[in-house]
Structure formats: C-alpha cells, structure tokens
Amino acid sequence: MEFIDMIRDPSVQAYDELWGALRSRLGKSTEENLRSILAVQQLGDRKPSQFLRHLLELTKPHITDKDSPLVRQIFLQAMPDKSLPFLQFLPPETPLDTLAGTADRVVSSLNQASAAVDAVSSTEFLSNQDYPLARANSARLDKISQTLDEICHQLKRISSDSRSRSTSKHRRNFRRHSVSRDRSNKLCWYHNKFGSKANKCVLPYCGASYKTFIDKYPSITGSPFIKQEVFHNVTYRITTSGSPVFCRPRRLDFARLKIVKDEFQYMLDHSTQSTSLAPLQ
C-alpha cells in the first residue's frame, strides 16, 4: 500500500521512479546508517581519546568534520556515567580532541578512586569475616587443648596408680593380675612401666578399637585365602573339552615368576582353587 499511487498511475519511467521512491520512502539516510553503526560501539578498555579516533575512522568518508555533532553525541553516550557530570561542565563548543583529553584524565582518576574504595571495602569485608572465624577457631583450639589436658591427666593418674600398686608387698601376684586387668581395660602395664623397652605385651597394646572389631567379625575382616567352614553343599564346576584356550606366553623376570608361583601354590594348598581337568597338549 506504500506505493499504491505509483501503481495506479504508472509513468513512462516507472522503474526509475519506483527505485527512487523505495530509497526515499523506505531507505535510511546516511546519518541514520552512521548512527546505527556508531551506537553499538563501546568504550571497553580503551581510553576515551582512543575511542574517539575509532569513531572518526568509522565515519569516513561520510563525515569529514572532526567536531561533528553526531560523533560528539555518540562519544558522550559511551562515556562512564560517573564521568558525565565532569564532562558536562565543559562548554558545548569545546573541540572533540580537548574533550577526549579531559575525559582521559577524568576516567583515569575515577578508576583509581574506585580501586582504592574496593581495596578498603575488601579489607573491611575480610576483617568482618576473619574475626568470627578467628574466634571460632580459637574456641575450637581451646576445646581441643582442654580435651588433651584431660587425657594427659588421666594417663598420669593411671601411671601413678600402677607405680604405687607395684611397690606393694604382693608385687608378684599383683603383676600377674594387673596384666589381665590392663588387658580388659585396653591399657598395657608393661608399656606404662618400661616404655619403649617393653617386650612382653600383647598387641595391640594401645587399646585400638579396630582390634575389637576384627575379633568380633573375623569372617568379614579376615584373609580371603583362609579356608572357612561352608554352610551349604552347593559346588560349582566348569566342564571343558579339548585343549585349554591359551595365548602366547610372556616371560616374567625370575623374582616376579617366583611370586606368582608361590601365590598359586598357596591357593592350591588352601583349596581355594584346583587344577584344570582338561588334558594338556
């Protein structure tokens, strides 16, 4: 419907007139095209003076005036918001080169000030975060220290009780009974008495909790190669015929071959495996 008038009353040079109408009615002007190109440009990490040179390069050859109002408008729109109040104090007729130089100094000063504020804020944040963390760590360390003190006190008391009882008249009988009592209490009298020179204790002398667990569940924690009682009569056999499937043997060094032979012999001795029934060829 945009060109209904030209369709109803066509002229002799209809093509040329239609082409001109298309350009004038639907096409964009040079300024609009430049504006659409320049509007998407961003300052980024460049200095304002570098950004100005970039804009002037994009407008060639359509704009030759270095103080073009269009370039000035796009340039100011791309500046950081914090710098605009300072740049607006300049007179409107200020050359773009002067405006860009002033923008360089303003943006640089603002970046330095922002970095200083961020550093102070980070310091305050870390301080506010570290103080509660330090207090929590201090409380945790105090609790651990208190627990260690209690353990040391208990060990000293047990050691002193053992020494006092060992000097009694029934020293020999006490030793015999104290060993069994220490075993039930998971403490070794020999190590309390003789330290590293003790050689008559029953391991583990430190009262390790894992020893009780191992003794309670030998079927779970024991060696898988130890033959155990089977509670069913189900057996498994694989019947094969012909020669065994094999691949080309690879030589092992003497030490590894001995380890492998000992391992297989161990499994044969404990009936965890049996020899093949297939004939060897």
pLDDT digits (tens, 9 = 90+) for 126-159: 444 445 555 665 566 566 556 656 655 654 565 5
88 has pLDDT over 50:
yes
Query: Taking CA 17 as the corner, what is the angle to CA 14 and CA 22, rounded to the nearest 5 degrees?
Result: 120
226 has pLDDT over 70:
no
Query: What's CA 238's distance to the chain center, in Å?
Result: 50
Q: Which residue has the higher pLDDT, 76 or 13?
A: 76
**Of 196, 137, 195, whose CA–CA distance to 163 is shortest?**
195
225 has pLDDT over 60:
no
Q: Are 120 and 96 in contact (CB under 8 A)?
A: no
180 has pLDDT over 50:
no
260 has pLDDT over 80:
yes
Q: Which residues of 193-217 are buried (b: 16+ CB within 10 A; e: fewer)?
A: eeeeeeeebeeebeeeeeeeeeeee
196 has pLDDT over 70:
no
**Of 159, 162, 141, whose CA–CA distance to 151 is shortest?**
159
Give the contacts of 278 (CB within 8 A, at least 6 positions apart). Answer: 240, 241, 242, 243, 244
Two tokens, residue 129: 């975060």
What pLDDT, on the 0 to 100 scale, is given for residue 74? 81
182 has pLDDT over 50:
no
Q: pLDDT tens across 28-39, in order?
A: 566 666 777 777
- Which of 120-124, 152-156, 214-218 ranks highest by mean pLDDT? 214-218
Side chain identity, residue 85: P
Confidence bin at 238 (pLDDT 50/70/90): confident
What pLDDT, on the 0 to 100 scale, is given for residue 40? 75
Q: Are 70 and 96 in contact (CB under 8 A)?
A: no
Confidence bin at 219 (pLDDT 50/70/90): low
Confidence bin at 188 (pLDDT 50/70/90): low
Confidence bin at 1 (pLDDT 50/70/90): very low
Query: Phi and psi dihedrals of 213, rounded to 5?
Result: -65, -40
Please state the pTM of the whole predicted model.
Answer: 0.35
What pLDDT, on the 0 to 100 scale, is given for residue 105? 82
Cis peptide before 95 (omega within 30 of 0): no
Two tokens, residue 265: 């012999």
Average pLDDT estimate for 211-219: 58
Average pLDDT estimate for 243-265: 79
2 has pLDDT over 60:
no
The residue ranges of every structural domain in the chain are: 4-115
Residues of the chain above pLDDT 90, percent: 0
Confidence bin at 185 (pLDDT 50/70/90): very low
239/236 Cα distance (integer angstroms)? 10
State whether the Cα torsion 140-145-148-153 is positive or negative: negative
Average pLDDT estimate for 164-172: 55
